[in-house]
Amino acid sequence: MVEPILDVRGVTKRFAFNNETVTALADANLRIEKGEFVCLIGPSGCGKSTLLRMVAGFETASEGELLMWAKPVQGPGPDRGMVFQDYGLFPWLTVAKNIGFGPAARGRPTKEVRETEKRFVEMVGLTRFADAFPHQLSGGMKQRVAIARVLANDAEVVLMDEPFGALDAMTRERLQAELLEIWERQKLTVLFVTHAIEEAILLADRVVVMSPGPGRIVADERIDIPRPRDPTSPEFNELRRRLSGLLAGHH
């Protein structure tokens, strides 16, 4: 067996809340191979974001273990980059400086940081806006900067928490296509949380379905429709029906 890039083994997460213990995630098992695009779907409060945050190293498991390349995840690291719905950009830095922040913070030489900024600004099509500040950008542009910033930091795994949830439909479609292009070109591994079944089928190699809290993984569906995928095709709609049924069955 090839070692998976991510291996979630029997992970349970409990929180203390109002003198009670709440189980957010129960006995989650998930293996992700290098280069896979995996979407997590499930109702609000099913532990999708909790699982993502544990892979990122922001939270620790109450039970079980999370491994990256067979080594325990012990806190955040540049090899795992998180993209949030609200972008999380530094408002006082320009587009280029936001993108170059990670390499600069890790003490890379100035010339290398500048080259990295230029390369990733170009990659996400924001060369004209390199010196703009976040408040001068549209939501779609901000999300491109957030993605570029993670990639510029040498992330092998990109963790995305409903990154296109706040965008209008046209911008979302454009960014979905751009994300797939970058994923293929950079050979990234993506773990992507979404509420939208259609978005999951459009993007993913596998769709992992979670039940409401305590969140459990109830299905792991491989999506064998060739890309680019047509949401109006019979195969697409058959999958949408099946995944909707799985979600409805666990409400």
Non-local (6+) Cβ contacts of 145 within 8 A are 87, 89, 95, 98, 99, 124, 126, 134, 137
Instruction: List, for residues 206-215, the tens digit of each pLDDT value.
Output: 999 999 878 8
The model's confidence at residue 226, banded by pLDDT at 50, 70 and 90, is very high
Instruction: List, for residues 52-101, the tens digit of each pLDDT value.
Output: 999 999 999 999 999 999 999 999 998 999 998 888 899 999 999 999 99
Residue 84's pLDDT is: 86
Helices (H), the chain: 48-56, 95-105, 110-123, 139-152, 169-186, 197-203, 234-248
Quote the crossing angle between the two packed helices 139-152 and 169-186, to the nearest 10°. Answer: 20
Distance CA 155, CA 144 (A): 15
Task: Provide the token pair at 109.
Answer: 């030489």
Q: Tell whether the model's pLDDT for residue 134 goes beyond 70.
A: yes
Task: Provide the token pair at 123.
Answer: 């990659």
Q: Tell whether the model's pLDDT for residue 250 goes beyond 70.
A: no
Q: Tell whether the model's pLDDT for residue 203 goes beyond 70.
A: yes
User: What percentage of the chain has pLDDT greater than the value 70?
Assistant: 99
Residue 43's pLDDT is: 87
Q: Tell whether the model's pLDDT for residue 130 goes beyond 80.
A: yes
Q: Tell whether the model's pLDDT for residue 29 goes beyond 60.
A: yes
Separation of CA 70 from chain center: 20
Query: Sign of torsion, CA 215 166 232 35?
Result: negative
Mean pLDDT value of segment 32-45 = 94
Q: What would the DSSP string read from start to end of 9-52? A: EEEEEEEEETTEEEEEEEEEEEEE-TT-EEEEE--TTSSHHHHH
Mean pLDDT value of segment 213-237 = 93
The model's confidence at residue 25, banded by pLDDT at 50, 70 and 90, is very high
Residue 251's pLDDT is: 56
Q: Are 82 and 161 in contact (CB under 8 A)?
A: yes
Instruction: Determine how many CB atoms are found less than 10 A away from the CB of residue 132.
Output: 15
Distance CA 61, CA 59 (A): 7
pTM of the entire structure? 0.93
Q: Tell whether the model's pLDDT for residue 7 goes beyond 90.
A: yes
Query: For the chain, which residues make up each domain, given as ranges?
Result: 1-79+158-168+188-251, 88-155
Q: Give the three-state DSSP class for 170.
A: helix
The model's confidence at residue 26, banded by pLDDT at 50, 70 and 90, is very high
The β-bridge partners of 16 are 21
Instruction: Determine how many CB atoms are found less than 10 A away from the CB of residue 192.
Output: 26
Residue 46's pLDDT is: 86
Nearest alpha carbon to residue 145 among 129, 156, 167: 129
Query: Checking phi first, is residue 217 left (phi over 0); if not, alpha (psi -120 to 50) or beta?
Result: beta
The class level of CATH for 1-79+158-168+188-251 reads: alpha beta
List phi, psi (to 5°) of 43: -65, 165
How far from 74 is each of 77, 79, 196, CA to CA, in Å? 9, 12, 31
Residue 248's pLDDT is: 83
